[in-house]
Amino acid sequence: MGLNTAAVSRLSQTWEKVPGKLKKVFLELEMLTDPSLNHKAYRDTFRKTKTPKIPFLPLLLKDITFIHEGNKTFLKNLVNFEKLHMIADTVRLIRHCQEDHMGNGMPQKSSPEVQAYVDYLHIIDNQQTLFELSHRLEPRV
């Protein structure tokens, strides 16, 4: 995840300035996003979290890909409904996340602050750019 990239983890001087309380939160998030056992920690926590909630979409896409690639669509010239049920369960999970905790499927009204944050969120996913920024912040010694 973002803070675990090499470009960020190499920033030792910056990490020294992070308060212990925030480092603890980071370690908890790191454990939550641990990919071992097919992201068990995340999946268990997510399952217990009340709706509405936002799923980690890359993991759901990975699930759908494995379902699609790992199961034939036809078995003996018949539609493999088990495969379709597994895909439908994943799609149902996404729809379930949109419900409020009372099971109401009505869309939630977003707060202006959250909407503004998301609208102006700048994501850098180019590793070369991240390393250049990292070295600009803390040059190699």
Closest alpha carbon to 56 in 23, 25, 33:
33
pLDDT tens track for 51-97? 888 899 999 999 999 999 999 999 999 999 999 999 999 999 988 88
Residue ranges covered by each domain of the chain: 1-50+124-140, 51-100
Q: Is the predicted pLDDT of residue 104 greater than 80, yes or no?
A: no
The pLDDT value recorded for residue 80 is 97
pTM strictly above 0.85: no
Task: Check residues 106 and 124 and name the one with the higher pLDDT.
Answer: 124
Q: Residue 9 class from Cβ within 10 Å (0-12 exposed, 13-18 middle, 19+ buried)? A: exposed
The pLDDT value recorded for residue 106 is 59
pLDDT tens track for 16-48? 999 999 999 999 999 999 999 999 999 999 999
Two tokens at 84?
């379709």
Q: Is the predicted pLDDT of residue 132 greater than 90, yes or no?
A: yes
Local confidence band at 118 (pLDDT 50, 70, 90 cut-offs): confident
C-alpha–C-alpha distance, residues 137 and 141, integer Å: 12
Closest alpha carbon to 53 in 112, 91, 96, 116:
96
Query: Peptide bond preceding 52: is omega within 30 degrees of 0, i.e. cis?
Result: yes
DSSP assignment letter at 79? E
Two tokens at 37?
């056992």
The pLDDT value recorded for residue 114 is 84
